[in-house]
Structure 1
Amino acid sequence: MTADGRATRINLLDFTTPPMRTFHCSWFAFFLCFFAWFGIAPLMPIVREEMALTASQVGWCIIGSVAITVVARLAVGLLCDRFGPRRTYSALLVLGALPVMGIGLARDYPTFLAFRVAIGAIGASFVITQYHTSVMFAPNCVGTANATTAGWGNLGGGVTQLTMPLAFSLLAGTLGLGTFWGWRLAMVAAGATCLTMGVAYYLLTQDSPRGDLDERTHRRRPRGGFRRAASDRRVWALFVLYGACFGVELTINNIAALYFVDDFDLGLRAAGVAAASFGLMNLFARTLGGALGDAFGGWIGLKGRVTWLFTTVFLEGLALMAFARMSSLVFALPALVVFSLFVQMAEGATFSVVPFVDRKALGAVAGIVGAGGNAGAVAAGFLFRGALPWSTALMVLGAAVAASSFLALGVRFSEDAEAEAAAEFEAAVGRRAATTAAA
């Protein structure tokens, strides 16, 4: 532990200290949010047939699912600065569960689209996850902590591709509820878990290693954090870069099942398994990206974190273009896994940089950069509205990702910031070594 209580190591078997309790609660809460957010995606072939959706309407559903999250992520970053992550996360989980369950009421395209848009707000949970772990962990492991909580949370996008088709089959077939009720009740169950977690998060976590923020602390917190963050060009470079990785992940989560059904003639369950291979890489790949960001930070400094970010985003773009050219499932699946590896590592690399940009406006910085992921997904969504074959759209998207990677080279830090980060890193490593020796 540092002097202010931040953890200098990640002990996965520790469920008692405030940092590790927050670690486990935040990744699991984000996992449930991500599961619910994209729970309908693997069921879209069923919904498309039931509601007779056109290619353009499916495209608008893809765009709508991530559009509102841009605004929501900006808002929750400010709310974390103002009211603390514990209250903000609990409120988001409870309120966000309502449209997840409510989508079962949809009987036509306009109603379905409205609920699909509203569900996107729950994706703002990512910003709170990153904020909460950023204040709980020291510089020597904050990148790894951020990447792991986000990566294990994003894993929900892969798990939902596997489990929602199974849940639908159980409800519709085994229990005899039929297609109409099968996918609707599956979404009700996903929303109910988020609602339960909202209560648990409030009871089990605290705002910082030293405790909760009281009302007096709220009144004394610095204002103008969003203005500070928005005036920093580095924040907007990271905004675009996060759009190029997390935005792409959101897009693939939305289209993967349909892509494998339409272009590779797979059934619903087989398409879900194929699509899940992309999301399941979050089990370790994002953590690897953050851990290597920490390693480069200890070796070269903040410049090393940025260089690693550039490398991962550039290779992600190349891997996506390679996947887009695959016409055989035998080659498409390995290409998808390699592409997924770089996507997740790029996300971890991004948030190994974010905590060092402006600590006095951490919530605002995390909110803006996090919103960039969804802004990227909205922009990418327009490629999948039917004007282009999806394989061509993926090729265009890959080229755009590779080009955007060069923005990372413009994210620079002052000599004072480099020195401060280096000193904190060494101090955290020293405390960790002392703790290990004492143990």
Structure 2
Amino acid sequence: MTWFAFFLTFVVWFNLAPLATQIKADFGLEESQIRTLAICNVALTVPARIIIGMLLDRYGPRITYTLLLMYAAIPCLIFATAQGFTQLVVGRLMLGIVGAGFVIGIRMVAEWFPPKEIGLAEGIYGGWGNFGSAAAAFTLPTIGGWFAFGALSPGGDPLLNWRLCIAGTGIIAALYGILYYNNVQDHPPGKTYRKPKSARGIEVTTKKDFWFLMVMNAPLSGILMVLAWRLKKVGFYGVNTMYIVWACLLGLYLFQAYNCWVVNKDLMTGKKHYPPKDRYRFSQVAILELTYVVNFGSELAVVSMLPAFFEGTFPLNPAQAGMIASSYAFMNLMSRPGGGLISDKLGSRKNTMAVLTLCMGIGYLILGTVTSSWWLPGAIILTMACSFFVQAGEGSTFAIVPLVKRRITGQVAGNVGAYGNVGAVAYLTIFSLLPEWLGGGKDPSPAIIAQANTAFFQIMGIMAVIVAFLCWFVLKEPEGSFAEHHEGEEEDHQLPHVPVMESDTSVDSIARG
């Protein structure tokens, strides 16, 4: 049920892309405005994943997922009833919060599967969810056509009832939230749901790691400042409003830093010392954050640009280019579980992560050489191979996340997941600006666009190669990577289960029984 909950959140989160052409036509939007909506779609997912991670560790997956699924209906209805660009932006920003659902299932799945099987279990969970974006791309245009009842635009093209499609996905998610609440539980019977003493910020176990945490939190607010600048560039608001937004985001960073200080105050003032057995290295979280930047961050960016890339590079119509490009997202059903399974079976989660990330980087560098002279089936095979390594890398990342520190798994997953969206916003911003930079500010020619695509793939490829070497030389193999039980569960299993019977509850009878 959690796998399908994640699938639904991705259908909701990515319900814009397949209907974007119709929305653009209905509102008379410029291309830059559509691209801005795509960036807005992933923006608030950054802070949302942090906040959801905190709520998850405190209240458990069942309640948290239920509330998120029911919330999904609100922004869908706002977007579906929009009468102007401003309402579209507000709806899309709010819909980005639904993308935080990923974090919840990471903890839920970890509660139900032992470390030795965690890679495959988390991989299937992640694969099902990411497949939701492809399912939306394939089904929503068809459904939109059915409910347009054959209506045609003034130009003679079939119309899509995009409003009903988007509202419908939100309503279905909300109804499933009710079903989810009544049919799941946070952990198997007999297990304990381990919580941090405070979920206001990530708990670290050394003073050096606290300052490292402060550094790694900065990009989470910084990337939102980039988005605020991007909204100013497309005329959504003026420069003074942008400065106000920047000030608010700086305040958000300081508030987050204060909460982390509150959680770790005793450590920083010397009142608390963690025994070696209870320590973990925050550098391991930081490396996982960077791996998710280069794999999931690049996936979101590539999904957004791949149809136009194939259409502009080869003699294809939009429908053909869209079908070919969708193969990238469809690979999730096998690639992400495949990465988790490889991580389970290879005997080293660290080496699995490094090899998959390196192969992904090489794949992107080769994709940067694709031109119209390439054999089209060869380009499709290359795209699918690169997609495998990207998504398998995502699977291997979250085969490690639940093993870092069990009681803060939600917050670790939230931070790592948020960095995936940091990567997506960064890559999408670079992608939108490359033609302008390379074309000297003029309208880009097809040659400039092709050059920009090449540079874009090369940037992603180089970043992945750098992170692969960090995995080899900095990432450590998690303790108990292939154990029968999670951290702390051995103690739970060693405690005797003493039944208390209603009719005979004396000490002697319990001892005899």
TM-score above 0.5: yes
What residue is the counterpart of 1:82 in the other structure? 58
CA distance in 2, matches of 1:259, 1:107: 31
Q: How does 1:183-262 map to 2 (within 5 A)?
A: 183-210=162-189, 221-223=196-198, 226-228=201-203, 231=213, 232-262=282-312
Q: Flag the 1:182–1:269 CA change in 2: closer, same or farther, 3 A.
A: farther
The percent of aligned pairs where both chains have the same amino acid is 32
What residue is the counterpart of 2:258 in the other structure? none
What residue is the counterpart of 1:314 in the other structure? 358
Q: Flag the 1:195–1:256 CA change in 2: closer, same or farther, 3 A.
A: farther
Kept after mapping to 1: 8 A contact 2:3/2:129: yes
What residue is the counterpart of 1:407 in the other structure? 470
- Listed one character per residue, the Cα deviations across residues 252-297 of structure 1 (whole Å, up to 9, x for unaligned) are 233333444455464443333222211111111110100110112x
Q: Structure 1 counterpart of 2:198, which letter?
A: R
CA distance in 1, matches of 2:109, 2:476: 22
Q: Flag the 1:288–1:225 CA change in 2: closer, same or farther, 3 A.
A: farther
The structure that is helix-richer by fraction is: 1
Aligned length: 391
- Listed one character per residue, the Cα deviations across residues 89-123 of structure 1 (whole Å, up to 9, x for unaligned) are 00011112221232112233222222112111111
SS for the counterpart of 2:147 is helix
- Listed one character per residue, the Cα deviations across residues 310-367 of structure 1 (whole Å, up to 9, x for unaligned) are 1111111221232233234433322211111111100011011111111121111111
- Alpha-carbon distance, 1:179 to partner: 6.7
CA distance in 1, matches of 2:137, 2:418: 24
What residue is the counterpart of 1:354 in the other structure? 401
- Alpha-carbon distance, 1:225 to partner: 7.4
CA distance in 2, matches of 1:412, 1:181: 48
Question: TM-score, length-normalised on structure 2?
Answer: 0.70
- Residue 174 in 1 paired to residue 150 in 2? yes
What residue is the counterpart of 2:18 in the other structure? 42
CA distance in 1, matches of 2:459, 2:467: 13
What residue is the counterpart of 1:14 in the other structure? none
What residue is the counterpart of 2:332 in the other structure? 282
- Listed one character per residue, the Cα deviations across residues 116-165 of structure 1 (whole Å, up to 9, x for unaligned) are 12111111010011110011111110111011111111111111221122
Q: Structure 1 counterpart of 2:397, which letter?
A: T
Q: Structure 2 counterpart of 1:162, which letter?
A: F
- Alpha-carbon distance, 1:373 to partner: 0.9
What residue is the counterpart of 1:330 in the other structure? 377
SS for the counterpart of 1:387 is helix
- Alpha-carbon distance, 1:54 to partner: 3.0
Kept after mapping to 1: 8 A contact 2:356/2:392: yes
Q: How does 1:45-56 map to 2 (within 5 A)?
A: 45-56=21-32
What residue is the counterpart of 2:264 in the other structure? none
Comparing 360-369 with 322-331, greater Cα deviation is found at: 322-331
Comparing 384-393 with 64-73, greater Cα deviation is found at: 384-393
CA distance in 1, matches of 2:78, 2:421: 22
Q: Flag the 1:257–1:99 CA change in 2: closer, same or farther, 3 A.
A: farther
Q: How does 1:330-409 map to 2 (within 5 A)?
A: 330-388=377-435, 389=449, 390-392=452-454, 393-409=456-472
Choose the corresponding residue for 1:142, options 112, 118, 129: 118
Q: How does 1:112-151 map to 2 (within 5 A)?
A: 112-151=88-127
Choose the corresponding residue for 1:99, options 53, 70, 75: 75
